[in-house]
Amino acid sequence: MPWEKQFDHDAALSKAMGAFWAQGYDATSMQDLVECMGINRGSLYATFGDKRSLFIEALRRYDSVYREDWIAAVIAANSPRAAIETAFDQVISAVVDAGSSDGCLLVNTALELSPHDAEISEIVDHGLAEMESFFRDMIDQGQDADEIPAHVDPVDTARGLLGLFIGLRVLSRSRPEEPLLRSVAAQAAALLR
């Protein structure tokens, strides 16, 4: 009789993603994953492969849900300039209002694993490049709509915004102080003037 999966793949993957996001790759043991996912070790290996394969699948899920879908929602609900400012404000709100201290799994992974793993680095690089593209596209659209002055260079400013955004994500994990986080968002807004 063939083996039959007895758990929800997406729910288990989301739980693994949460563990990696909160603890990091190295600090998350296979036992941690078995416990948080609510599946046995054999099912974990049969479905997801080894820890690294599971991490890569979880990282891709994070990029899809917490970057792509989130940015699409921010764009849909805001004008171009407001979309940029909202991206920063929502990160701060998650920290200040919701008490989130996990940061961003892409940024956390950039610091922990990207220098040592080409495949993981490629996923992180793609996500960060897409964030830079989001900022650049919003600047271009904001200039077309007369929300952002024409003197603002879309490429250089998008890169500066990306640096501030990454810094905000790191600070949200290490120094989640509202005045500090708000000062980073204020610097981002100043680049659009």
Q: What is the pLDDT along the chain (193 residues), one digit of tens a residue?
A: 445 557 899 999 999 999 999 999 999 999 999 999 999 999 999 999 999 999 999 999 999 999 999 999 999 999 999 999 999 999 999 999 999 888 999 999 999 998 899 999 999 999 999 999 999 999 999 999 999 999 999 999 999 999 999 999 999 999 999 999 999 999 999 999 9
pLDDT digits (tens, 9 = 90+) for 138-188: 999 999 999 999 999 999 999 999 999 999 999 999 999 999 999 999 999
Q: Where are the beta strands (DSSP E) in 18-87?
A: none
In 10 A of CB 22, how many CB atoms?
16
In a domain, 32, yes or no: no
Query: Could you list the residue range(s) of the whole structural domain that residue 158 is in?
Result: 58-190
Rounded to 5 degrees, φ, ψ at 157 are -70, -40
List the CATH number of the domain containing 157.
Answer: 1.10.357.10
In a domain, 23, yes or no: no
58/109 Cα distance (integer angstroms): 12
Domains in the chain, number? 1
44/58 Cα distance (integer angstroms): 13
Token pair listed for 99: 């008490």
In a domain, 159, yes or no: yes
141/158 Cα distance (integer angstroms): 13
pTM of the model: 0.92
